[in-house]
Amino acid sequence: MKELTTRGTKGLLPYLTAGLGGLETTERILQGLAEVGVTAVELGFPYSDPIADGPTIQSSFTRVLEKGIHVREILDMVARFRRNNQLPLLAMLSYSIVYRLGVDCFLQQAVDAGIDGLIIPDLSLEEAPQVARQVSEAGLVLPMLVSPASTPERRQKIAALSTGFVYYMSVTGITGERNQLPPELINNVRQLRQTTGRPVIVGFGISTAEHVRRVCSEADGAIIGSALVRRIMETQDAGGDTEAIVKAAAEAVSGWMVGLPA
């Protein structure tokens, strides 16, 4: 993650639902994404009550939860992956999961497994300072989400608590693929970077190499989630085995990376 600030590079951060197709498949996909050179991966922890997740990611959560895959098993998979790979992994999950296990307890488990940071979309700004302190003390980063509807004052508060980068939502609402990005997006990102002095990564609605190219003309990186999850589920539904799923994921991400500035 430090590359985004120390070298001025632009990054692609794919989102992957943990356990989709099985945890062995997830681990193999992570290996494939590391090989194509992504900056980091957001690893989604399935949760029964969607927060800002659109229908594609909701569907992926349902598939994983129906298999009875638990948080501990996901972290065990991360630990196995971490033995041979240093690709940064950000756990994207509901605060309910963290709170239920206990913040310090979950953070210790995350550190032991090799997680590099947390993204908690439903963490309230009121609770965030205490959690941010605990996350920092654990040696992890905590990027926080800024909505287009956030006031300038609120954006500053969120950015001040964020570590690693600020996660800017391209649209207000839920995740999902979109044909067009908001015309005001680039100007909003420029203002956020200038006023906060923090790296800004943009997510929500990004689904093509052209979207990545446009976003990264100003932002420090782009996040693609629903489009990747859809490719994985389509390959799975077509009867593809683990090899086919890993190949589909890697090829999709490689295609989107073409949009990154050289």
Q: Which residues are catalytic?
A: 42, 53
Those residues whose C-beta lies under 8 Å from the C-beta of residue 42, and which sit 6 or more positions away, are 13, 14, 15, 16, 90, 92, 119, 223, 225
Reading the block at residue 98, the tokens are 């963290």
| Residues 119, 161 contacting (CB under 8 angstroms) | no
Euclidean distance between CA atoms 165 and 8, whole angstroms: 13
The helix/strand/coil state of 118 is: strand
Q: Would residue 67 be called left, alpha or beta, if left means φ above 0 and alpha means ψ between -120 and 50 degrees?
A: alpha
Write out the DSSP string of 131-193: HHHHHHHTT-B--EEE-TTS-HHHHHHHHHH--S-EEEESSSS-----S---TTHHHHHHHHH
Reading the block at residue 14, the tokens are 């794919």
| Residues 221, 10 contacting (CB under 8 angstroms) | yes
| Residues 10, 261 contacting (CB under 8 angstroms) | yes
The helix/strand/coil state of 50 is: coil
The helix/strand/coil state of 119 is: strand
